[in-house]
Amino acid sequence: MDKHELPFIQDMFESIAHRYDLLNRTLSLKQDIIWRNKLVQTLDLSGNENILDVASGTGDVALAICNEYPSIHIHCIDFSLNMLRLANQKIKVYPHTSIFTACADAFDLPYPSEYFHAVTMAFGIRNVVNKQQLLRTLYHHLVPGGQLLILELTLPEIIFLQNIYLLYFKKLLPMIGRMISKNNFAYDYLPDSVISFPTSLDFSKMMNTAGFSCVKWLPMTGGICTLFVGKRPD
């Protein structure tokens, strides 16, 4: 796993899991809900397909999808048991949904290839070192014609907005993050990881290189979050 992932990522999520949802809502001023809903609206499904949510964390993407598609089958994988425990607690409240969780590494998925009609990943790929290899893995697990949707935190491209955002992101956000999560490292790492994420154009080229077609991206909230969409050709 180490060659694909920074060695501290798994422990970091284990340690902040109990405060993850609260911090998401607080630090994004609840925009994270809007971003996940946009991902759901962009899914092109009839309603009873198999979906894979990679790096599912506390299950918010899966629950947002089920809200729109109640008969869908969603397989959530994450390598943090603490995040998955919280996901399971939330999923239990909706007993009629078909959401299944599994503790697994995104690079070693416990599913056959060409199995999923859509693969989603929200705020996870930024933490992955070998993004190109992960994109190829996800490609192989999609049926021909299947969709990949990736949500990621990005930097506004307009320099003026970027400067204001960086002020918040590098100064205020780590302070609030440290206070609420009691983790001194995670919310210092967050801005650094966003700053080093490829530009949207470069990331879309990586998706093309992995085999995806019709790649497009949609910046949201001034570009602080971007939805990337691609299709495995038929």
Ligand X SMILES: C[S@@+](CC[C@H](N)C(=O)[O-])C[C@H]1O[C@@H](n2cnc3c(N)ncnc32)[C@H](O)[C@@H]1O
Q: Which residues bind ligand X (CB under 6 A)?
A: 5, 9, 13, 24, 55-57, 60-61, 77-80, 83, 105-107, 122-124, 127-128
* Between 129 and 158, CB nearer to ligand X: 129
Cα separation, 181 vs 22, in Å, equals: 9
Place of tokens 């930024």: 126
Give the contacts of 5 (CB within 8 A, at least 6 positions apart): 127, 128, 129
* Between 105 and 188, CB nearer to ligand X: 105
Q: What is the largest CA-CA distance in the chain?
A: 49
76: left (phi over 0), alpha (psi -120 to 50) or beta: beta
- Please report how close the Cβ of residue 233 comes to ligand X at its closest, in angstroms: 26
- Please report how close the Cβ of residue 135 comes to ligand X at its closest, in angstroms: 13
* Between 107 and 111, CB nearer to ligand X: 107
- Please report how close the Cβ of residue 72 comes to ligand X at its closest, in angstroms: 17
- Please report how close the Cβ of residue 102 comes to ligand X at its closest, in angstroms: 10
* Between 123 and 203, CB nearer to ligand X: 123
* Between 11 and 158, CB nearer to ligand X: 11
Nearest position to ligand X, beta carbon = 57
Q: In what order do the strands lie in the sheet with 142-153?
A: 98-103, 73-78, 50-54, 116-122, 142-153, 225-231, 213-220
- Please report how close the Cβ of residue 106 comes to ligand X at its closest, in angstroms: 4
Torsion of Cα atoms, 128 then 109 then 41 then 37, to 10°: -60
